[in-house]
């Protein structure tokens, strides 16, 4: 892949990659590091993509894998960030309040809701990206919606 292609994909999908990483790691600095790593992987990738949607799916899958690697690492589990706990997050067109509520959910439900509603992936596509069954995605969507409903009701009280 040449640098012009990577630059074009960076402009097209950097928000998708960054927001996906934020869903997992919850720290802007870690999400930015993951985004850089993912786009570097794209630059060094020798394979061929058929269309832009294939690139987007590959980037999101790569982002999810990098996030899981980081969350499993000893360093991540036993370190604290140096920056302030309340980092500012970029939300673009997403509703800040809803995005913050989604961040209060568990990792599994949070990722499924984000991919399904914010990225627009179907249940089957989400299952493929996360490496789980479509039934598991449907269950997590249902649980996540129930948890969100409860969080919204609690916020209103």
Confirm or reject CATH 1.10.1740 for domain 1-90, answering yes or no.
yes
Q: Is the dihedral of CA 118, 54, 8, 2 positive or negative?
A: positive
CATH topology of domain 93-157: Arc Repressor Mutant, subunit A (1.10.10)
Q: Output the pTM of the full model.
A: 0.61
Answer yes or no: are the C-beta atoms of 119 and 20 closer than 8 Å: yes
CATH 1.10.10.10 in the chain is located at 93-157
Q: Would you give per-residue pLDDT tens digits along the chain (157 residues)?
A: 788 989 999 999 999 999 999 989 888 889 999 999 999 999 999 888 889 999 999 999 999 999 999 988 876 665 555 443 334 444 443 455 677 788 788 888 888 988 888 888 899 999 998 899 999 999 999 998 898 888 888 877 7
- Give the C-alpha distances (Å, rounded to integers) separating 34 from 44, 90, 149, 155: 15, 15, 31, 32
């Amino acid at each position: 892949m040449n640098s012009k292609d990577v630059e074009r994909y960076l402009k097209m999908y950097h928000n998708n990659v960054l927001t996906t990483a934020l869903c997992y790691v919850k720290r802007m600095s870690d999400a930015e590091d993951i985004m850089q790593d993912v786009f570097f992987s794209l630059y060094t990738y020798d394979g061929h993509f058929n269309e832009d949607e294939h690139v987007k799916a590959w980037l999101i899958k790569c982002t999810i894998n990098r996030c899981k690697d980081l969350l499993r690492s000893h360093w991540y589990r036993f370190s604290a960030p140096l920056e302030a706990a309340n980092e500012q997050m970029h939300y673009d067109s997403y509703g800040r309040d809803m995005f913050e509520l989604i961040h209060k959910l568990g990792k599994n439900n949070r990722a499924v809701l984000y991919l399904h509603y914010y990225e627009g992936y179907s249940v089957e596509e989400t299952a493929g990206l996360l490496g789980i069954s479509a039934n598991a995605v449907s269950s997590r969507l249902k649980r996540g919606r129930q948890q969100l409903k409860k969080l919204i009701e609690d916020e209103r009280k």
